[in-house]
Chains A and B, each alone.
Chain A
Amino acid sequence: MGVEFARRLRFTARALAVYAAAALLFQYLLVLVFRTLDLGALGPVMEILPPGLRALLGAQAAELLSPRGFLAVVFAHPVMLVLSVAFGIAFASGALAGEIERRSIALLLVRRVTRPQIVGGVALMLLLGSAFLMALLWMGTAVWTTVYDLGPVSLTAFAWVAGTGLAVLWALGGVALLASAATSEGGRAAGVAAAFAIAAYVGNYLANLSSQWRWLKPYSVFGYWDPQEIVRRGTGQWTDLYVPLAVAASAVILAAIVFSRRDIAV
């Protein structure tokens, strides 16, 4: 399994580096934007934002004008989410369904590596890749706040932001892995996983938008990741870690079962 994992690590490292560089660059750009804002003038503007936009910005939109609130929203910014989630979906869908589609999987399955081991290796790579992205954003937060003197920021709170973000990304990656284990085309697996991620995001958005839809929140993995709320309280909740991790673990186990029982025939 170590040999197989090493191959995946080797051939994913470059793609992961590109995702990471793009995420760091985007974070840096947003920090530069924040430094140019006239916070005094923006205060009243935040109060009159339409509810739809406030829901998009997070539960604590007013926090957006503080350095910690702004840096927190960077983690969950749609562009950042697309970058982070895209890594998991692209990697997971290419790892199983993509290799079945390319027919290269047969070379592995006739050797001393079992199907659950292959799934396990991909799940581990997903976890490490997502952890790398979140750790980099956390380090970026530490660096920018120091370099630009952005005021007191609790790095412990941001560790919670990164940790819960990692759990959510791994859950989405796990679902992508499950889709990949069940299909024989990388594109189809990516499509299913992307649809799931979008549905989860829209569900959480609706829950933030209206009390009528609040019941959706526990059913969306994004409902367990509110960076602004974490930095406002200075810490996170364990349930925000446990629930996405449970989703991730269940999806990975299910993926191993599905992949072990399916036919590899393309």
Chain B
Amino acid sequence: MTRPDPIIEATQLTKWYGRRRGIENVTLAVAAGEIFGFLGPNGAGKTTTIRCLLGLVRPQRGQSRLFGKPFHRIDRARLGVVPGELSLFERMTGAQLLDYLAALTGRRPTERADLLARFALGSGDLAKPIRHYSRGMKQKLGIVQALQHAPEVLILDEPTEGLDPLMQQEFYALLGELRGRGRTVFLSSHLLWEVERTCDRVAIIREGQLVALERIDTLRARSVRRVEVQFAGAAELSRFTPPAGVVVEQIHGVRLTLRVPVPKIGAVLAALAARAVSDLAWERPSLEDVFLGYYREGADGR
């Protein structure tokens, strides 16, 4: 589907670091108000793509645009960024850092108080030098600095790294609110359930190349379901023949685990209806399954 006026746009981005691959022909577009997930394992090229978007590295080929302009021409106050492998100025206190970065941004930090309250950063914490912060506190401060000036676009590179589960929940709730306010979010993650939970669309990057660019629900629909069937007896199990394209993953006593492509669901149900089944469980596919599916496809193709 073509989208008018993308806020974030990458076209044929290609970056090599000497002989080491960065990314190849990465093309994507993120529309205004969209929460866009960017998935891939470590070293797949997520951070390189973000660096190209932010003008930190120059691609050998292709171009990137934010708000329809090259990065060096945009009003950077409209942007909030949590860099990957976040590193802050350790000698500053938390309060000094937030003031300093707000001053550099050139916009009043209107959201700061609310964010500090949400992420449980009190005035005592902010008075301490950052070198005394825990990993989680640094990450929380990293999120606050990116959002404190209410930017229209957020580029977040693995923003929940180091956050405890409670703070992760708070962050996901915040993303939901940002969606409601029409903000655009580019969220890089290797946590598949995180993207599944928060994003509208997702791009999957593998070895520097995009292997999928889909809506989350489309991606799920294309994926394989795992079905666990418990037959009434061994005879029932032995009489069951899985339809073509359905893979028997595991047999354990009278329990059978199947991997069922979505188009084969009807055929499987028909086959099971003819047998005595005592239990049946359909697992909702996680994005991890989808992701592994893409990887398996790639591996099989090699």
- Chain A residues at the B interface, C-beta cutoff of 8 Å: 3-4, 7, 11, 102-104, 106-114, 261, 263-265
Q: Are A109 and B56 in contact (CB under 8 A)?
A: yes
Complexed CA–CA distance, A104 and B104 (Å): 14
Known: A107-B101, A108-B104. A263 touches B57 (CB 8 A): yes
CB-based contact A112/B88 at 8 Å: no
Chain B residues within 8 Å of A, Cβ to Cβ = 17, 48, 51, 54-58, 72, 76-77, 79, 81, 83, 85-92, 100-101, 103-106, 145
Whether the pair B87, A103 counts as a contact (CB closer than 8 A) is: yes
Shortest C-beta distance, A91 to chain B (Å), equals 14
Besides A11-B91, A103-B87, 16 new A-B residue pairs in contact (Cβ under 8 A), listed by A number? A3-B103, A103-B83, A104-B87, A104-B88, A104-B89, A106-B83, A107-B88, A107-B89, A109-B54, A111-B104, A112-B77, A113-B104, A263-B17, A264-B57, A265-B51, A265-B56
A110 touches B58 (CB 8 A): no
Could you give 27 example pairs across A and B, Cβ below 8 Å? A7-B89, A7-B100, A11-B91, A11-B92, A102-B87, A103-B87, A104-B88, A106-B56, A107-B81, A107-B88, A107-B101, A107-B145, A108-B104, A109-B56, A110-B54, A110-B83, A112-B105, A113-B104, A114-B72, A261-B58, A263-B17, A263-B56, A264-B57, A265-B48, A265-B51, A265-B56, A265-B57
Residues of B within 8 A of A261 (CB): 58
Nearest-CB residue, chain A, relative to B91: A11
Using CB atoms, name the residue of chain A closest to B77: A112
Tell me how many residue pairs across A and B have CB atoms closer than 8 Å: 63
Q: Which of chain B's residues have a CB closer than 8 A to the CB of A114? A: 72
Q: Which residues of A contact B56 (CB under 8 A)?
A: 106, 109, 263-265
| A3 and B100 contacting across the interface, CB-CB below 8 Å | yes
Cβ contact of A263, chosen from B58, B72, B76, B79, cutoff 8 A: B58
Expressed in whole angstroms, the Cα–Cα distance for A55 and B27 within the complex equals: 65
Question: What residues on B are CB-neighbors of A265 within 8 Å?
Answer: 17, 48, 51, 56-57
Q: B104 touches which one: A11, A112, A263, A264 (CB < 8 A)?
A: A112
Instruction: Known A263-B56, A265-B56; judge A111-B101 contact (CB<8 A).
Output: yes
| Nearest CB in chain A to that of B97: its residue | A107
Which A residues are in CB contact (< 8 Å) with B51?
263-265
CA distance A254 to B57 in the complex (A): 19
Across-interface contacts of B105 in A (CB, < 8 A): 111-112
Contact check, B76 vs A107: say whether CB atoms are below 8 A apart. no
C-alpha spacing A114/B72, complex, angstroms: 9
Q: How far is the CB of A102 from chain B (nearest CB, A)?
A: 5
Q: Which residues of chain A are near B48, meaning CB under 8 Å?
A: 265
